[in-house]
Amino acid sequence: MPDRMEQIVSLCKRRGFVFQSSEIYGGAASVWDYGPLGVELRRNVADAWWSAMVHARDDVEGLDAGILMHPRVWEASGHVEGFADPLLECKTCKRRWRADHIEESACPRKPSVAPGGHGDCEIGEPRLFNLMFKTFMGPVEEDASAVYLRPETAQGSYVNFLNVQQTSRKRVPFGIAQTGKAFRNEITPGNFIFRTREFEQAEMQFFVEPGADDEWFDYWRDQRLAWHKEMGVRAGKLRLAAHGPDQLAHYAKAALDIEYEFPFGWQELEGVHNRTDFDLVRHQEFSGKRLLYIDPGSGKRFVPYVVETAMGIGRSVLTLLVDAYREDEVGGDTRVVLGLHPRLAPVKAAVFPLVKKHGMPETAAALHETLRRARIPSFYDMAGSIGRRYRRQDEAGTPWCVTVDGETAEDQSVTIRDRDTLAQERVGLGQVANWIRERL
Ligand code: ATP
């Protein structure tokens, strides 16, 4: 069987989910562009996250902070000093690897062994490589105007903690949620959209009274695990992995990964972190401004602890694609299906005329128009045999195909075929939009 990741990368390109960035120039390493279907899936994932984390709750507010921030932010956060991975370089082939990924990497001269395993390898001492992208703000390229592209959205929530708390009149415990781009100059990006240098995060910082942090940490772990299952990810492919003391980031008291079993092994999909009061205290020190919370009820004064949930939206998209991908046999043919949750599927319904005559194309086009007006993403297709049209939609993850056929003119009904069960149901022409809406 061809490698599952290759199948997914190929499907993504073939159907317009994901393209390599700047492909006509030979590609930009580790940057990917979302095509027409991919952008819908990505937005649906981000919307589902926002809906669960912000709209469905009374204790989380949204924020959209800038990517560029005051450079002192990153000194306070510890990123200038500590956001670095250990880098190993081979003096023979000049290639570089993350020291903690060396065992899973391949020597370019002899891919069956890890770097260092070939007689000619000359691996140097590990040195720290800072992952932040640096650029310049304003027209002068000098050190004084250096700024960073944010490597996480979290800091925007910390520096706005009091702004959000006071304007929304929230009481602790409450959270601040953000989605947005983050940038990390990863030493070894790879595995398609799993690890990229530009990516989108969905992060939520939950501010709690010190002492309540352990309880909230468990609460958010359970909430986030449940969310991935609600999105349709198979429970058996998800697991929790707590970080040992030697794996904890500089700011964390406790951390765990929600892991998914990718074709390349169990890997982090989302992190849940107890960041204590580290960030707020550091911002107080570096900014000289107090970030103290005074509870209007009890009068208690404290710098809150923070429990963070941090997910990569692209990584969630990859998880959903991998998890939904399957091949099965239909009438002696192999079909590729993306069994995406209907809520996440880029296109909800495809509308086909069975043949290109007897008024069927007109009726089908009108139905397609009706669905679009009802804001149900719909796709009209009359090219090729009905079987081929079904196959294309199966690969795109479209849950329902609606066919206008010979009987439609007589009884004003159409056939709706279910992507997963292949069951066909007759539904009144005027009922299709409602029928779909009820199932979303
Ligand atoms: P790693 O140790 O794998 O580099 P991390 O533990 O530093 O990652 P976090 O800082 O916890 O990652 O980031 C939160 C989430 O953001 C991750 O769970 C992942 O989903 C996503 N993420 C982090 N780095 C990348 C990346 N380079 N590309 C895509 N998504 C990423």
Tens of pLDDT, residues 243-282:
988 888 877 889 999 999 999 999 999 999 999 999 999 9
In short, whether 312's Cβ falls inside 6 Å of ligand 1 is yes
Does residue 329 fall inside a structural domain?
Answer: no
Does residue 327 fall inside a structural domain?
Answer: no
Whose C-alpha lies nearest to ligand 1, atom 28?
A: 195
CA distance 291 to 294: 10
In short, whether 156's Cβ falls inside 6 Å of ligand 1 is no
Tens of pLDDT, residues 124-172:
888 888 999 999 998 887 777 889 999 999 999 999 999 999 999 999 9
In short, whether 177's Cβ falls inside 6 Å of ligand 1 is no
Instruction: Tell me, yes or no, whether 310 and 414 share the same domain.
Output: no
Does residue 342 fall inside a structural domain?
Answer: no
Nearest to 343 by CA among 320, 371, 315, 314: 320
In short, whether 150's Cβ falls inside 6 Å of ligand 1 is no
Instruction: Tell me, yes or no, whether 298 and 217 share the same domain.
Output: yes
Cβ–Cβ under 8 Å, residues 179 and 153: yes
Instruction: Tell me, yes or no, whether 166 and 281 share the same domain.
Output: yes
Q: Probe ligand 1: pick from 313, 315, 316, max atoms within 8 Å of CB? A: 315
In short, whether 308's Cβ falls inside 6 Å of ligand 1 is no
Does residue 198 fall inside a structural domain?
Answer: yes
Query: Rounded to the nearest whole angstrom, what is the distance from the C-alpha of residue 310 to the centroid of ligand 1?
Result: 8
In short, whether 270's Cβ falls inside 6 Å of ligand 1 is yes
Instruction: Tell me, yes or no, whether 122 and 262 share the same domain.
Output: no
Query: What is the token pair recorded at 347?
Result: 């296109």
Query: Rounded to the nearest whole angstrom, what is the distance from the C-alpha of residue 273 to the centroid of ligand 1?
Result: 12
Domain with 244 in it: what CATH number? Answer: 3.30.930.10
Instruction: Tell me, yes or no, whether 39 and 122 share the same domain.
Output: no
Whose C-alpha lies nearest to ligand 1, atom 24?
A: 195
Instruction: Tell me, yes or no, whether 180 and 58 share the same domain.
Output: yes
Does residue 331 fall inside a structural domain?
Answer: no
Whose C-alpha lies nearest to ligand 1, atom 26?
A: 195
What's the Rg (C-alpha) of the chain? 25
Does residue 39 fall inside a structural domain?
Answer: yes
pLDDT at residue 185, as a whole number: 95
Instruction: Tell me, yes or no, whether 106 and 163 share the same domain.
Output: no
Tens of pLDDT, residues 326-367:
999 988 888 999 999 999 999 999 999 999 999 999 999 999
**Torsion angle, CA of 381/373/346/36, rounded to 10 degrees?**
70
**CA geometry: angle at 254 spanning 104 and 310, to 5°?**
70
Query: What is the token pair recorded at 4?
Result: 């599952």
Query: Rounded to the nearest whole angstrom, what is the distance from the C-alpha of residue 215 to the centroid of ligand 1?
Result: 24
What is the pLDDT averaged over residues 37-56?
Answer: 98
Res 1 pLDDT > 70: no
Domain with 362 in it: what CATH number? Answer: 3.40.50.800
In short, whether 199's Cβ falls inside 6 Å of ligand 1 is yes
Print the domain residue range for 65. 4-78+132-321
Whose C-alpha lies nearest to ligand 1, atom 7?
A: 249
What single letter denotes the amino acid at residue 284? Q
Does residue 96 fall inside a structural domain?
Answer: yes
CA distance 22 to 278: 40
Cβ–Cβ under 8 Å, residues 95 and 101: no
CA distance 213 to 165: 18
Does residue 328 fall inside a structural domain?
Answer: no
How many structural domains comprise the chain? 3
Instruction: Tell me, yes or no, whether 401 and 283 share the same domain.
Output: no
